[in-house]
A and B are shown apart, each in its own frame.
Chain A
Amino acid sequence: MITIDNLHKSFGGVEVLRGASLEIQDGEVVALIGPSGEGKSVLLKHVAGLMRPDSGRIVFNGKDIFGLGHAELMSLRSRFGFLFQNGALFDSLTVFDNVAFPLREKTRLGEKDIREKVLAELKQVGLTGAEDKYPSQLSGGMAKRAALARALVGSPQIMLFDEPTTGLDPIIVHSIHALIASTHKRFGFSGIVVSHAIPGIFAYVQKVAVLYGGVIRFVGTPKEIFETDDVVVRNFIQGSLPAETFPSREQAPPQSKANELQERAL
Chain B
Amino acid sequence: MGNQADRWLLTPIRGLGRVPLSVISNMGRMGIFLVQALFFTFAPPLKFFRLLKQIKFIGFDSLLVIVLTGAFTGMVLGFQGFYTLSRVGSTALLGPMVALALLRELGPVMAALMVTGRAGSAVTAELGIMRITEQIDALEILGLSPFRYLVVPNLLAALICLPLLTAIFNVIGILGGYLIGCKLLGVNGGTYFGSMSDYMGMKDVLIGLYKSICFGGIIAWVCCHKGYTAGFGAEGVSKATTQAVVLSSVLILVCDYLLTSVLF
Contacts and interface: CB of A to CB of B under 8 A. Distances in A.
B142 A77 contact: yes
A146 to B, nearest CB: 12
A102 interface: yes
A82 B143 contact: no
Given A88-B133, A88-B134, A75 B143 contact: yes
B5 interface: no
Contacts of A48: 141
Nearest to B50: A92
A105 interface: yes
Interface in A87-113: 88-91, 101-102, 105-106
A182 interface: no
A84 B142 contact: no
A90 B142 contact: no
A259 interface: no
Nearest to A85: B134
Contact of A45 (B135, B137, B142): B137
A78 B138 contact: no
A84 B137 contact: yes
A90 B135 contact: yes
Contact of A80 (B133, B134, B141): B141
B68 interface: no
B144 A105 contact: yes
A76 B140 CA distance: 11
B145 interface: yes
Interface in B132-183: 133-135, 137-138, 140-145
A45 B137 CA distance: 9
Nearest to B133: A88
A86 B141 contact: no
Nearest to B142: A102
B144 A84 contact: no
A203 interface: no
Contacts of A178: none
A138 interface: no
A68 interface: no
Interface string B101-138: 00000000000000000000000000000000111011
A74 B145 CA distance: 8
Contact of B142 (A86, A89, A91, A105): A105
A33 B140 CA distance: 25
Interface of B: 133-135, 137-138, 140-145
Interface of A: 45, 48, 50, 74-78, 80-82, 84, 86, 88-91, 101-102, 105-106, 154
23 contacts: A48-B141, A50-B141, A74-B143, A75-B143, A77-B141, A80-B141, A82-B138, A82-B141, A84-B134, A84-B137, A84-B138, A86-B133, A86-B134, A88-B133, A88-B135, A88-B137, A90-B135, A91-B133, A101-B142, A102-B142, A106-B142, A106-B143, A106-B144
Those 5 A-B pairs whose CB atoms lie nearest each other, nearest first: A78-B143, A88-B134, A88-B138, A82-B141, A77-B143
Given A78-B143, A89-B138, 5 more contacts: A50-B140, A50-B141, A74-B143, A86-B133, A90-B138
